[in-house]
Chain A
Amino acid sequence: MKLFLKFLLLVALFFASWFVLRQVDWVTLLKVKQMTRTTEEKLGNLFWEMLDQTEDIDHSQEVAGTIDSLLTHLCKANAIDREKIKLHVVDKDMVNAFTLPDAHLVILTGLVNESENEAELLGVIAHELAHVEKNHVMKKLVKEIGLSVLISMTQGGSGETVRQAMQLLTSSAYDRELEREADLTAVDFLIKAEVDPEPFANFLYRLSENEEHIPRQVFWITTHPDSKERAENIINYMKGRDIHKKSILTPEEWGKLKEKTASED
């Protein structure tokens, strides 16, 4: 009995030590968040520099400026700090959009050209914005590559590793759960921004239906599997919600955007 009490005391001593040490905010004290933030910032710059060197970046008011105004509208309606999002429009004939670490949001002109209306495009932007807000990018990178490799990349790791990580971010899917979370968060963002989420669901459905007939490389669909199921989830999620619909762009602005992206392609 005495021995058992001693055992309990030993266990209690361990948990008491842990409990006492838990009272300290080690994360703040050791600047863990700041270190993580620096790593993410460095990774974001690393990927962005690579993209900037290899792709044509659109800086025009008609394309980049118009997409910027759509993003700004979404951010404003959802109290998201627009300043932290680094929007880049890449002039490329691929239906794709992706996010890089440190809130770099990349839209390819092929995606704009494929969108039939601004609500479809806003849906995809909202989906990518959700990945940013939910920190999915770093979660994916840490899971697929590992934190140690990521840190070594920021300290001058091999170019091949950076390329592989880039490939992972631009042309592979997130976890099913993360995609679902991004979809549903996107619906919330859209509703708050007074944009109908249904066209976003239609966009997913349409692209997955016509995948074989679309001449371009539909990266956003091939990298986001189960599109039909996702479209259904979006429709179910928005059921019964009070949705106000308004246009952000004038028909002229949308027309100009479509015209420009079509001619660029």
Chain B
Amino acid sequence: MELFERPVAQASGFSYEPGEHESEKASNSYLMSLIALMGGLPLPIINLIATFIFYMGNRNGTHFVRWHCTQALLSQFSLLFMNSFGFWWTVSIVFTDREITSDWIAYVITVILFNVTEFIATIYTAVQTRKGRHVSWWFYGELTDLLCPR
């Protein structure tokens, strides 16, 4: 996932420097999705639920916090679909007579690659937002702009 990092006051449209408290909360939204990603690997829906709960808790927060909670939530959606499919495919192999195929192995590797990319991007974003810097992800950032208009 390509990242566009911009100083908050310049291109992002945030007309203010987020305070210490805001940066912490925005950063936590990514940490939340990270922890959920690790804890929720066996059941992909857990990631989404955890991030959604955090989003609901902060939906009345400042714009900076809301924006990043939304971006964290949206990024979980695409993972939810690919991980869920992979999860049930794996379950069917372990518990039914379906066999391990090259297709399944290729799918698992693809899903791992996307998860690792997301993982790295999330850590990076969590660190940057903690410093009060705004990080907008390719595609997800623009989608978040639509949902969280400035």
Say whether A and B bind each other.
yes
A interface residues with partner B (beta carbon < 8 Å):
2-3, 6-7, 9-10, 14, 17-18, 21-22, 24-27, 30, 32, 36, 138-140, 142-143, 146-148
A contact patch SS: helix
Residue among B93, B105, B143 making CB contact with A30, cutoff 8 Å: B105
A17 contacts B110, CB within 8 Å?
yes
Contact A148 B102 (CB under 8 A): no
Say how far A168's CB is from chain B's closest CB, in angstroms: 14
CB of B14 within 8 Å of the partner chain: no
Q: Is B15 an interface residue (CB 8 A)?
A: no
In the complex the two chains form, is A147's CB within 8 Å of B146's CB? no
A-B interface, 3 closest residue pairs, ranked by CB to CB distance from nearest = A21-B106, A139-B97, A26-B105
B residues 71-122 with Cβ under 8 Å of A? Answer: 78, 82, 93-97, 100-103, 105-107, 109-110, 113-114
- B-to-A contact residues, CB < 8 Å: 78, 82, 93-97, 100-103, 105-107, 109-110, 113-114, 138-139, 142-143, 146
For A143, give its contact among B96, B102, B138, B142 (CB under 8 Å). Answer: B96
Q: What are 23 A-B contacts defined by CB distance under 8 Å?
A: A3-B143, A6-B138, A6-B142, A7-B139, A10-B139, A14-B110, A17-B114, A18-B107, A21-B105, A21-B107, A21-B110, A22-B103, A24-B106, A25-B102, A26-B106, A27-B102, A30-B105, A32-B105, A36-B100, A142-B95, A146-B94, A146-B95, A148-B94
Bound-complex Cα distance A32 to B106 (A): 14
> Do B146 and A3 have beta carbons less than 8 Å apart?
yes
User: Chain B residues with Cβ under 8 A from A139's Cβ?
Assistant: 97
A142→B102 contact, CB < 8 A: no
Q: Given that A142-B96, A142-B97 are contacting pairs, would A18 and B110 also be in contact in the complex, using a CB cutoff of 8 Å? A: yes
Pairwise interchain contact B96-A24, C-beta atoms closer than 8 A: no
Residues of A within 8 A of B82 (CB): 14
